[in-house]
Structure 1
Amino acid sequence: MRRRICTLPVGLGAAALALSGALPAQAADPRPREPRPAWETRTSGSDARFRGLAAVSRSTAWVAGTKGTVLLTRDGGRHWRDVSPPGAGTLEFRDVEAFDAWHAVVLAIGEGDASRVLRTDDGGASWTETFRNPDPRAFYDCLTFFDRRHGIAVGDPVDGRFRVLSTGDGGRSWHVLPSDGMPAALPGEAAFAASGQCVTAAGGHDAWLATGGAAVSRVLHSTDRGRTWSVAGTPVPAGDAARGVFGLAFRGRAHGLAVGGDYRAGQPSPTAAAVSGDGGTSWTAAPRPPAGYRSGVAWLPHSRTTALAVGPTGSEVTTDAGRTWRAFDTGSYDTVACGPDGGCWAAGEKGRTARLAPGGSGG
């Protein structure tokens, strides 16, 4: 979108006082309590703002951000290696999708030829530019992959419809898909390049696109890798260029989470999350949403109920599939992602990176 802008284990205190005699023994609550998640911050050595994040595993992650910066860690964030593409200092990277520690694709945003896609096959030692936007009206926001070969990148509306790029060779080449299968955009409607999560995929063919800026926030759904789309409204606040759905996450083809709100500091976001149980056909407001605007969301792998949400004013966890969210951190993060082995990462402004503490899933 063009206008963008450590925790102690729960329950140990009471138990210790009871054992010491400071409290009656019965004062210690014997019921098991859920572990409380905690971010373990990592020093990236950069002052870039990271809105792109790819979690490969607990040990390996990529981040991408301002000033053409791309970093890679293979040791759990203890050391980050600067693998930025040469000469990319003027680019604004907002998304990175990685297949492993060696192969990754990054998206730079902006009008016209500022929107670009680059790919590396050697862990960032070298990069190849595989797409440079030739249309001055187009502005690409985020990308996603269905598998190691097939992926799409989505951009703001051109001629009244969202623009979709497609690749069938892992991001080595791209072509614009026909727009006749895309519903008409609403006045003022666009996508947000805030976390690399305005589009997400699940399975081999399904993709979902989040929107805002119009009278209503919407989620578009494709079952054929971006060729045709259906659309559904959401209860996430809209009606202003700063409001809408900013991030999406799906667990399989049915269970979806949407987060967003109003990204302007100090503005209320009373309905910052919504849930879907039917593949995005309908959306329901979370009865207990996050405390404010959230830009990133991720399911924990191998869990049917646990997910994380992040934003500039804090992080929340849900253990009931998005119906209720509880805060566990007040730090500023823009994006969150989890690898197949359960390793979860967050990243944001001023070079902030973090990994979820072991055992801190909250469920």
Structure 2
Amino acid sequence: MKKYFILMTMLALLSCKKEEKEPIYIPSFTIVKVDTLMQDKISIRALLTDGDKVWYAGNGGKYGYVSLSGGKSLNGVVAKDSALPEFRSIAKNKSDIFILNAGTPAMLYKISKDGMAVRKVYTETGEKVFYDSMQFYNDTDGIAMGDPTDGCLSVIITEDGGGNWRKVSCEVLPETANGEAAFAASNSNLIIKGDNTWMVSGGKKSRVFYSADRGKSWKVYDTPMAQGSEMTGIFSADFYDDKIGFAVGGDYEKPDKNSGNKILTINGGKDWQLVGEGAGFGYASCVQFVPDGNGNELVTCGPSGIFYSFDRGATWKKILDDKTLHTLRFADNKTIIAAGQGKIIRIKLQ
């Protein structure tokens, strides 16, 4: 009897410890209000918030900003000879906005935040040239990534505030697999937190490339994301901090398939696990962590609509049935800015 009592006590203590380790997830909002900030004949996949302004870049060479407080807006167009580039990457530092098109020739433009000065600061030609995403670490150092051209992902960097850019040698970068590339779906193939950099790939191989030192050295990690054909893999990723990350994608040609399309890491990208299998959306083009959500809350967009999770992707709730949105960013932890076919909208969370 005494042994039985001791055994039951130990089991109870172990049960308590297990319960203490289980995270508690609490939804932070239930009500959604939507208003339209801009309408135009444009497809937008490059979007960022900068104080009161939402900057965008899209097809037809179009770029500009809208105000969140009802102030003036800016509409600009960049043309190369008779061609109108399709911009899918956008980034910022303290003084300027940078936009980069997909396809060849790649053209990277530096735009002053007052919109008065527009200057091309990098160009690259070649049959395989296709840039996907761009970010800045600080006001001086920036990075952009794209599809492989010489056996590794294309990476260009600036160290002078964006005035000059240079391409990184494949001697520094991991070799890509046959059929491995990236998707310019929402300017979120490239993620930066402090000195940490992650680049995500898709196609016949879907992996995560990681650098702890702003791109000086790299490691690469496999993922369980759907892969193996040209239009499968990771389309978007985000990191809440240097440990918790989430990626979405799946199979672009099977947009309703809601398995093999959501993966979570809690150790900085070294290991990933499938979550939310058979739940929520199918193919998705963008994912973002909710600010101040402790790495538990996520929002995605794509042809299934906008979905929200409060438990790190285990369960999902559709919060907006809009199937035309490609990308989204948070202006604050209660305001989503989303863009896609012909518009930019604001979603207020309460």
TM range (shorter): 0.7 to 0.9
CA gap of 1:261–1:78, structure 2 versus 1, over 3 A, is: farther
Match of 2:42 among 6, 31, 48: 48
**CA distance, structure 2, for counterparts of residue 86 and residue 159 of structure 1:** 28
**CA distance, structure 2, for counterparts of residue 33 and residue 340 of structure 1:** 16
**CA distance, structure 2, for counterparts of residue 286 and residue 141 of structure 1:** 26
Match of 2:88 among 94, 101, 122: 94
**CA distance, structure 2, for counterparts of residue 218 and residue 316 of structure 1:** 24
For 1:293, what is the secondary structure of its paired residue? coil
**CA distance, structure 2, for counterparts of residue 98 and residue 168 of structure 1:** 14
CA gap of 1:37–1:153, structure 2 versus 1, over 3 A, is: farther
Superposed displacement of residue 43, structure 1 = 4.5
Superposed displacement of residue 62, structure 1 = 0.8
Which amino acid in structure 2 is aligned with residue 237 of structure 1?
A
Superposed displacement of residue 227, structure 1 = 2.7
- Highest relative contact order (Cα 8 Å, sep 6+), 1 or 2? 1
Contact kept in structure 1, 2:300 and 2:307, CA below 8 Å: yes
Which amino acid in structure 2 is aligned with residue 344 of structure 1?
I
* Match of residue 283 from structure 1: 272
TM-score (norm 1): 0.82
Q: Percent identity?
A: 27
Which amino acid in structure 2 is aligned with residue 123 of structure 1?
D
Contact kept in structure 2, 1:295 and 1:335, CA below 8 Å: yes
* Match of residue 116 from structure 1: 107
Does 2:95 align with 1:106? no
Contact kept in structure 1, 2:288 and 2:300, CA below 8 Å: yes
Looking at CA atoms only, which structure, 1 or 2, has the larger radius of gyration?
A: 2
* Match of residue 297 from structure 2: 306
Match of 1:347 among 331, 339, 343: 339
* Match of residue 219 from structure 1: 208
Superposed displacement of residue 74, structure 1 = 2.0
Unaligned segments of structure 1, at least 5 residues? 1-31
CA gap of 1:184–1:169, structure 2 versus 1, over 3 A, is: same
* Match of residue 325 from structure 1: 316
**CA distance, structure 2, for counterparts of residue 248 and residue 82 of structure 1:** 29
* Match of residue 285 from structure 2: 295
**CA distance, structure 1, for counterparts of residue 72 and residue 229 of structure 2:** 41
* Match of residue 208 from structure 1: 198
CA gap of 1:213–1:35, structure 2 versus 1, over 3 A, is: same
Deviates more, 1:143-152 or 1:240-249: 143-152
Match of 1:142 among 133, 138, 152: 133
**CA distance, structure 2, for counterparts of residue 126 and residue 265 of structure 1:** 43
CA gap of 1:123–1:273, structure 2 versus 1, over 3 A, is: farther
Equivalenced residue count is 321
CA distances 1:255-307 after superposition (whole Å, capped 9, x unpaired):
10101011236552422211110000011111355311111111122221222
CA gap of 1:180–1:37, structure 2 versus 1, over 3 A, is: farther
* Match of residue 84 from structure 1: 77
Higher strand share: 2
Which amino acid in structure 1 is aligned with residue 331 of structure 2?
G
For 2:60, what is the secondary structure of its paired residue? helix
Unaligned segments of structure 2, at least 5 residues? 1-25
CA gap of 1:300–1:292, structure 2 versus 1, over 3 A, is: same
CA gap of 1:56–1:321, structure 2 versus 1, over 3 A, is: farther
Superposed displacement of residue 34, structure 1 = 5.2
CA distances 1:197-223 after superposition (whole Å, capped 9, x unpaired):
1111111x2111111111x42111111
* Match of residue 21 from structure 1: none
Instruction: Output aligned runs, 1:128-277, within 5 Å.
Output: 128-203=119-194, 205-214=195-204, 216-264=205-253, 266=255, 268-277=257-266
**CA distance, structure 2, for counterparts of residue 99 and residue 37 of structure 1:** 34
Which amino acid in structure 1 is aligned with residue 302 of structure 2?
G
Give 4+ residue runs of structure 1 displaced > 4 Å after superposition.
Answer: 76-80, 86-89
For 1:47, what is the secondary structure of its paired residue? strand
CA gap of 1:246–1:264, structure 2 versus 1, over 3 A, is: same
Superposed displacement of residue 76, structure 1 = 4.4
Contact kept in structure 2, 1:39 and 1:354, CA below 8 Å: no
Which amino acid in structure 2 is aligned with residue 63 of structure 1?
Y
Superposed displacement of residue 132, structure 1 = 0.6
The CA RMSD over aligned residues, in Å, is: 2.3
TM-score (norm 2): 0.84
